A = this chain, B = another copy of it.
Amino acid sequence: MMDAIQPRAVKTRARLLATAQAVIAETGYGAMRVDEVVRRAGVAKGTFFAHFKDKDALMDMLIGAEMNHCLDALETGPAPRDTPALIQALGPLMALMTSERYVFDVILRHSGAAAREDIGPIAQALDRLVRQIASWITAGQFRHDADPELLAEGVQAFMAQAMALNFCALRGKQPLDARLAPFLTRWLSPETGLDPQGQ
């Protein structure tokens, strides 16, 4: 009995999403204001929150979608067969995740889901990433004396740390890749952990 969403609601939601994307395209994620979006979309503020739990939920969707585009590309492209190739493959995704401090913060906030039902797009994308990395590890020239899933989660941990350090003036403007390399080399290399340089 009338529990279906009406067409106008679908339209409104679509307009809000489109407007938000337009605003973000102009000013970036961090500068997006709910007031600005609803003003441009020509709806009341309350309507926004009728369609999205909060501002973060919208960000989750939009950023998650962008991450998934990146992941699509990764899935399509050739599988990296060693650590340097892996780091290179991860480049675009990490660039996206660190494009703004605000974006990285949103991702961190959504990297774990609070409850079974509210796994957002970002959490899903990160999960997809781990599975992708695990499959690469299985197929490529990496160590195979450990659960690929575990290794993949480790890669994610190192990625997060490297990206966090990216917003830190201290550790120099060393590029992400360079900061990540020593960790991943040691974590993934098939030669049982040896490294003549000790570095």
A contact residues vs B (CB 8 Å cutoff):
105, 108-109, 111-116, 119, 143, 145-147, 150, 153-154, 156-158, 160-161, 164-165, 167-171, 182-183, 186-187, 192-195, 198-199
Give every chain B residue within 8 A of A150 (Cβ-Cβ): 182-183, 186, 199
Query: Using Cβ atoms and an 8 Å threshold, which residues of chain B touch A145?
Result: 193-195, 198
Closest B residue to A105 by CB, please name it: B109
User: How often does this chain occur in the complex, in copies?
Assistant: 2
Q: Is the interface of A mostly helix, strand, loop or mixed?
A: loop
Measured CB to CB, the nearest residue on chain B to A150 is B182
Given contacts A143-B193, A146-B198, A154-B158, 10 further A-B contacts (CB under 8 A): A108-B108, A111-B168, A113-B168, A114-B169, A116-B169, A146-B186, A146-B195, A150-B183, A153-B183, A157-B158
Cα A86 to Cα B17 in complex, Å, equals 48
